[in-house]
Structure 1
Amino acid sequence: MGNVWEIGNLSVTEGNKVKDYLELPTVEEKLPAFVVNGSEAGPKVLVLGGIHGCEYTSIDAAQKVGAELEPAQVKGKVIVLPIANPASFYARSIYVHPRDQKNLNRMFPGKEDGTDAERLAYWLNESIFKQVDFVIDLHGGDMIEALVPFTIYHITEDKKVLETSKEMASLFDIDYVIGSSGQVPGSTYGCAAEQGIPAIIAEAGMQGIMSKKHSINLQDGVKNILVSLGLLNGEVNKSESTYISVFDWYRSDIKGLWYPDVEIGNTVTKGQYLGRLANEFGETVKEITSDTEGIVLFLVTSLAINDNDPLLAVGA
């Protein structure tokens, strides 16, 4: 039989691959999974897509990586979950789980007896994160988001985890690499890193559009990381990146209309006018100005804005 990798309800013998549904306790949906147990020993890696159900490019990229990996080529073990949040995917639900209206990527490490998103986060962490050595979480602009591709790693006190995560984040052909010191609590990569597991998020694609170009970009980045970790043979491709330590988020404090005055990729200066929030009669309620000098990496493109919704983010 050889070395058997058991992960949740799935098991795969050495030198084989399983394509099946992962079942998690107390989680209603089954998660499609590719599980590869390589022909030789090596690290265990998790590749996620679809934590946010409308980030279609990330889902396509993860699915294609999972379909392409062959056990004979792999030294180690890989599990790919291309649609990690099926309820959100099929409900076409922006940001949140449709049943509890909670953002899965703010819920980790979750709660065993919590609401739907909290339980899904809990069991992903317990059953998957804790069984692997590295986490690669693929994202993109949600249905109402435009963005410049970027990667993020978590700044943790564990210097080895921090440096490994930073190196992983640098292996995508993406210009901007962000070191995040916890501005986004409850995230996959932050939760994993705080448990000693190097982890990153890579963002490409946007606005509910499946971009073949950006999918290939994400796929190539994942494979580049697998080469760097010794799971795949090949040469590691290095590209020049701009490292960013400030990721300045702007949120709405009203329910109303959002009129941005900048585009993704624009360079902005401190004090620059970024856009305005208006009431339902079109009257300006609040003007948004930049607190920093930097690049607009992320921008909500929806006219409709709810209280506490993100508006944009500037990297510096």
Structure 2
Amino acid sequence: MPKHLSALPRELACATPGQRLHVATLNDRPLPATLLCGAQAPGSGPGVLLTAGVHGCEYCSIQACLELARELDPARLCGTVLLVPVANMSGFYERLPALVAEDGKNLNRVFPGSASGTVSEQLALLITQLQDWADFYVDLHGGDLHEAMHPFVFVPGVADPEVTECARQAARCLDVDVRVLSGATTGAYNSAALRGTPSLLIERGGLGRWSRAEVDAYKADIRSLLCHLGVLEGTPGGADSQRECTHPVYLEASARGFWYPAGDIVPGAPVRKGQPLGLVRDLSGAVLQDCRAETDGMVLYMTVSLAVKEATPLVAYG
């Protein structure tokens, strides 16, 4: 049996070198996945887990994962690649931003999950088991229906130093100019890293759309990463330069209202300390919140919808 497969759900453990195995369930739970069992040096090479659709309306990541599941050739792989293109199936089909339809929870906030919990918590536990199988984990994300995004990557900053450094080196082979060193302990990738699996969260696309250019860029990043990990032959790519952001700012609405971002605030735009970022107004037009930059940086992502709720994101920068 090829390396790692005995630790996977039984639907996948029967794969043989050179096989592309599509399954509709994992441990009898409806969760489509594709296993690519490499034919190069069978039994060797890393196990890599790719998930997309943890948030069901982040379409660029989902489409990229779907296409990679069809296009990557097991005959050329050294190792095993497991792809879960739509982790949150109910949220995807309901076009529900961020949440799982059955219980209204954010899947990315309930890791590592629970066998006795709600649908989201049980799903998180299943993905946690896949993370623990993997030698490297990548969670593919993007802006939600109401979010515009500048492409960037999150690196876990709360894991053991060697895990963080492994993830940082992998991030450098992506064609993004910013990597954010996360100080959070929540989220699928942070949960995996805290248990010892080097992990990344990539952000690309948004606004409830996907484009050929964005999906192709996503796929190129994953292929470059697989080259870096030794799963594919070839030289990894990367951006001309990539800076590390260690203190990102996540601006939230202080009250529900109407959001008017400043005209020069767009993803990728530079910001200076004190610069106006936007206003939250009430029904009468009175200003509820005058948002200004706390520090210099660059806009990573932002809400573009008119409606905002209290304590929800407006602009992230750093």
Provide the TM-score with structure 2 as the length reference: 0.93
Superposed counterparts of 1:180-219, under 5 Å? 180-182=182-184, 185-219=185-219
Contact 2:254–2:289 (CA<8 Å) still a contact in 1?
Answer: no
SS in 1 for 2:81: strand
The C-alpha deviation readout for 1:174-209, integer Å capped at 9, x for no partner, is: 111111111xx4211111110110000111111011
The structure with the largest strand share of the pair is 1
Cα distance in 1, alignment partners of residues 4 and 193 from structure 2: 26
Cα distance in 2, alignment partners of residues 201 and 312 from structure 1: 19
Aligned equivalent of 1:16: 19
Cα distance in 2, alignment partners of residues 3 and 278 from structure 1: 57
Aligned equivalent of 1:149: 151
Cα distance in 1, alignment partners of residues 211 and 71 from structure 2: 19
Aligned equivalent of 2:105: 102
Cα distance in 1, alignment partners of residues 286 and 143 from structure 2: 28
**What's the offset of the Cα at 1:247?**
1.3
Superposed counterparts of 1:59-74, under 5 Å? 59-74=62-77
**What's the offset of the Cα at 1:99?**
2.5
**What's the offset of the Cα at 1:233?**
0.9
Structure 2 residues without counterparts, runs of 5 or longer: none
Aligned equivalent of 1:111: 114
Aligned equivalent of 1:222: 222
Superposed counterparts of 1:274-289, under 5 Å? 274-289=277-292
Aligned equivalent of 2:248: 247
Contact 2:4–2:133 (CA<8 Å) still a contact in 1?
Answer: no
**What's the offset of the Cα at 1:70?**
1.8
Cα distance in 2, alignment partners of residues 134 and 211 from structure 1: 27
Report the aligned-residue RMSD: 1.6
| Aligned residue identity for 1:254 | A
Tell me whether 1:56 sits opposite 2:23 in the alignment: no
Q: Percent identity?
A: 33
Number of aligned residue pairs: give it: 309
Contact 1:250–1:310 (CA<8 Å) still a contact in 2?
Answer: yes
The C-alpha deviation readout for 1:52-93, integer Å capped at 9, x for no partner, is: 100000001111111112221111111001111101100101
Judging changes above 3 Å, is the alpha-carbon distance between structure 1 residues 280 and 119 closer, same or farther for their aligned structure 2 residues?
farther
Contact 2:252–2:311 (CA<8 Å) still a contact in 1?
Answer: yes
Contact 1:142–1:208 (CA<8 Å) still a contact in 2?
Answer: yes
| Aligned residue identity for 1:136 | V
**What's the offset of the Cα at 1:156?**
2.9
The C-alpha deviation readout for 1:149-187, integer Å capped at 9, x for no partner, is: 0011101351211111011112111111111111xx421
| Aligned residue identity for 2:196 | G
**What's the offset of the Cα at 1:3?**
6.5
SS in 1 for 2:46: strand
Tell me whether 1:138 sits opposite 2:170 in the alignment: no
**What's the offset of the Cα at 1:2?**
6.6
Structure 1 residues without counterparts, runs of 5 or longer: none
Tell me whether 1:92 sits opposite 2:95 in the alignment: yes
| Aligned residue identity for 2:141 | H
| Aligned residue identity for 1:31 | L
Judging changes above 3 Å, is the alpha-carbon distance between structure 1 residues 181 and 296 closer, same or farther for their aligned structure 2 residues?
same
SS in 2 for 1:207: coil
Cα distance in 2, alignment partners of residues 24 and 287 from structure 1: 50
Judging changes above 3 Å, is the alpha-carbon distance between structure 1 residues 301 and 119 closer, same or farther for their aligned structure 2 residues?
same
Aligned equivalent of 1:313: 316
Tell me whether 1:291 sits opposite 2:314 in the alignment: no
Judging changes above 3 Å, is the alpha-carbon distance between structure 1 residues 45 and 305 closer, same or farther for their aligned structure 2 residues?
same
Contact 1:35–1:80 (CA<8 Å) still a contact in 2?
Answer: yes
| Aligned residue identity for 2:251 | Y
Cα distance in 1, alignment partners of residues 193 and 145 from structure 2: 28
Superposed counterparts of 1:69-80, under 5 Å? 69-80=72-83
Judging changes above 3 Å, is the alpha-carbon distance between structure 1 residues 270 and 138 closer, same or farther for their aligned structure 2 residues?
same
